[in-house]
Amino acid sequence: MKTTTLKPADPEWIIIDAQGQNLGRLSTKIATILRGKHKPSFSPHQLCGDHVIVINAQKLFFHPTKHRRKIYVKHSGYLGHLKTFSLQSMIDKKPTAMIELAVKGMLPKNRLSRQMLKRLHVYAGAEHKHEAQQPKVLTVTK
Protein backbone atom coordinates (compact mmCIF):
# COMPACT_ATOMS: atom_id res chain seq x y z
CA MET A 1 0.00 0.00 0.00
CA LYS A 2 1.21 3.46 -0.85
CA THR A 3 0.32 6.58 1.01
CA THR A 4 -0.23 9.47 -1.33
CA THR A 5 -0.11 13.12 -0.38
CA LEU A 6 -1.73 15.80 -2.42
CA LYS A 7 0.27 18.68 -3.74
CA PRO A 8 -0.85 21.92 -2.14
CA ALA A 9 -2.95 24.04 -4.48
CA ASP A 10 -2.21 27.65 -5.23
CA PRO A 11 -3.09 29.75 -2.19
CA GLU A 12 -6.16 31.94 -2.26
CA TRP A 13 -6.36 35.46 -0.88
CA ILE A 14 -8.94 36.09 1.84
CA ILE A 15 -9.82 39.47 3.32
CA ILE A 16 -11.24 39.82 6.84
CA ASP A 17 -12.66 42.99 8.37
CA ALA A 18 -11.69 43.20 12.06
CA GLN A 19 -13.99 46.08 12.96
CA GLY A 20 -15.98 45.22 16.09
CA GLN A 21 -14.51 41.71 16.34
CA ASN A 22 -13.10 40.01 19.42
CA LEU A 23 -9.32 39.51 19.20
CA GLY A 24 -9.25 35.87 20.32
CA ARG A 25 -12.07 34.64 18.11
CA LEU A 26 -10.72 36.51 15.13
CA SER A 27 -7.18 35.21 15.56
CA THR A 28 -8.32 31.57 15.86
CA LYS A 29 -10.12 31.90 12.53
CA ILE A 30 -7.03 33.50 10.96
CA ALA A 31 -4.73 30.77 12.33
CA THR A 32 -7.03 28.07 10.93
CA ILE A 33 -6.96 29.63 7.47
CA LEU A 34 -3.18 30.20 7.52
CA ARG A 35 -2.62 26.59 8.51
CA GLY A 36 -4.99 25.25 5.85
CA LYS A 37 -7.19 23.24 8.20
CA HIS A 38 -10.31 24.49 6.41
CA LYS A 39 -9.34 22.58 3.25
CA PRO A 40 -9.96 18.88 2.63
CA SER A 41 -6.37 18.51 1.39
CA PHE A 42 -4.83 19.57 4.74
CA SER A 43 -1.45 18.09 5.63
CA PRO A 44 0.29 19.13 8.83
CA HIS A 45 3.76 18.90 7.21
CA GLN A 46 2.97 21.05 4.15
CA LEU A 47 2.33 24.72 3.63
CA CYS A 48 -1.22 24.50 2.30
CA GLY A 49 -2.90 27.55 3.84
CA ASP A 50 -4.10 30.75 2.22
CA HIS A 51 -3.04 34.39 2.37
CA VAL A 52 -5.06 36.43 4.86
CA ILE A 53 -5.52 40.21 4.69
CA VAL A 54 -6.87 41.81 7.88
CA ILE A 55 -8.16 45.38 7.66
CA ASN A 56 -9.35 47.76 10.39
CA ALA A 57 -7.05 46.23 13.01
CA GLN A 58 -7.31 49.41 15.04
CA LYS A 59 -11.07 48.99 15.52
CA LEU A 60 -11.11 45.68 17.40
CA PHE A 61 -13.60 45.27 20.23
CA PHE A 62 -12.27 44.98 23.78
CA HIS A 63 -14.02 44.90 27.13
CA PRO A 64 -13.73 48.36 28.76
CA THR A 65 -11.44 47.15 31.56
CA LYS A 66 -9.22 45.13 29.19
CA HIS A 67 -7.27 48.28 28.24
CA ARG A 68 -5.86 48.42 31.79
CA ARG A 69 -5.54 44.70 32.54
CA LYS A 70 -3.92 43.30 29.37
CA ILE A 71 -0.12 43.51 29.51
CA TYR A 72 2.35 42.55 26.78
CA VAL A 73 5.79 41.47 28.03
CA LYS A 74 9.10 41.64 26.15
CA HIS A 75 12.51 40.61 27.48
CA SER A 76 15.88 41.13 25.82
CA GLY A 77 17.68 38.39 27.77
CA TYR A 78 19.75 40.76 29.88
CA LEU A 79 19.15 41.31 33.58
CA GLY A 80 16.68 44.08 34.28
CA HIS A 81 15.60 44.49 30.67
CA LEU A 82 12.00 43.40 31.08
CA LYS A 83 9.66 45.74 29.21
CA THR A 84 5.90 45.77 29.60
CA PHE A 85 3.33 47.43 27.37
CA SER A 86 -0.35 47.93 28.07
CA LEU A 87 -3.02 47.17 25.53
CA GLN A 88 -3.82 50.86 25.13
CA SER A 89 -0.22 51.69 24.22
CA MET A 90 -0.20 48.84 21.67
CA ILE A 91 -3.39 50.20 20.10
CA ASP A 92 -1.83 53.66 19.88
CA LYS A 93 1.64 52.66 18.63
CA LYS A 94 1.29 49.35 16.72
CA PRO A 95 -2.30 48.19 16.22
CA THR A 96 -1.19 45.51 13.79
CA ALA A 97 1.15 43.84 16.30
CA MET A 98 -1.74 42.73 18.52
CA ILE A 99 -3.20 40.49 15.82
CA GLU A 100 0.21 39.26 14.69
CA LEU A 101 1.20 38.23 18.23
CA ALA A 102 -2.12 36.52 18.88
CA VAL A 103 -1.96 34.52 15.64
CA LYS A 104 1.72 33.68 16.15
CA GLY A 105 0.91 32.10 19.51
CA MET A 106 -1.76 29.90 17.91
CA LEU A 107 0.45 28.46 15.18
CA PRO A 108 2.77 25.47 15.73
CA LYS A 109 6.29 26.32 16.86
CA ASN A 110 8.30 25.10 13.86
CA ARG A 111 9.71 26.25 10.53
CA LEU A 112 6.34 26.14 8.83
CA SER A 113 4.89 28.71 11.21
CA ARG A 114 7.39 31.32 10.04
CA GLN A 115 6.31 30.69 6.46
CA MET A 116 2.65 30.87 7.48
CA LEU A 117 3.18 34.21 9.20
CA LYS A 118 4.56 35.64 5.96
CA ARG A 119 1.10 35.03 4.47
CA LEU A 120 -0.56 37.24 7.09
CA HIS A 121 -1.02 40.87 6.04
CA VAL A 122 -2.46 43.17 8.71
CA TYR A 123 -3.45 46.81 8.14
CA ALA A 124 -4.63 49.33 10.73
CA GLY A 125 -7.02 51.11 8.37
CA ALA A 126 -9.48 50.08 5.69
CA GLU A 127 -7.04 50.41 2.76
CA HIS A 128 -4.69 47.65 1.64
CA LYS A 129 -2.41 47.15 -1.35
CA HIS A 130 -3.60 43.71 -2.49
CA GLU A 131 -6.46 44.57 -4.85
CA ALA A 132 -4.58 42.93 -7.73
CA GLN A 133 -4.89 39.51 -6.04
CA GLN A 134 -8.72 39.82 -5.99
CA PRO A 135 -9.24 38.65 -2.40
CA LYS A 136 -12.44 36.93 -1.33
CA VAL A 137 -14.33 38.56 1.54
CA LEU A 138 -14.84 36.35 4.61
CA THR A 139 -17.26 37.44 7.30
CA VAL A 140 -16.44 36.31 10.81
CA THR A 141 -19.42 36.10 13.15
CA LYS A 142 -19.12 37.29 16.71
DSSP state of 85: E
CB 124 within 8 A of CB 91: no
- Structure confidence at residue 122 as a pLDDT band (50, 70, 90): very high
Q: What is the pLDDT of residue 2?
A: 87
- Structure confidence at residue 11 as a pLDDT band (50, 70, 90): very high
Q: What is the pLDDT of residue 61?
A: 94
Q: What is the pLDDT of residues 21-44, one digit of tens each?
A: 999 999 999 999 999 999 988 989
Q: What is the pLDDT of residue 9?
A: 83
Q: What is the pLDDT of residue 3?
A: 80
Average pLDDT of the residues in 91-109: 95
Longest dimension (CA), the chain: 58
Pairs from 98-105 (Cβ < 8 Å, separation ≥ 24): 98/23, 98/57, 98/60, 99/18, 99/23, 99/26, 99/27, 99/30, 99/54, 99/57, 99/60, 101/72, 102/23, 102/24, 102/27, 103/27, 103/30, 103/31, 103/34
Q: What is the pLDDT of residue 141?
A: 79
Average pLDDT of the residues in 53-57: 97
Average pLDDT of the residues in 68-86: 94
* pLDDT score of 5 more than 90: no
For the chain, what is the mean pLDDT?
93
Average pLDDT of the residues in 92-115: 95
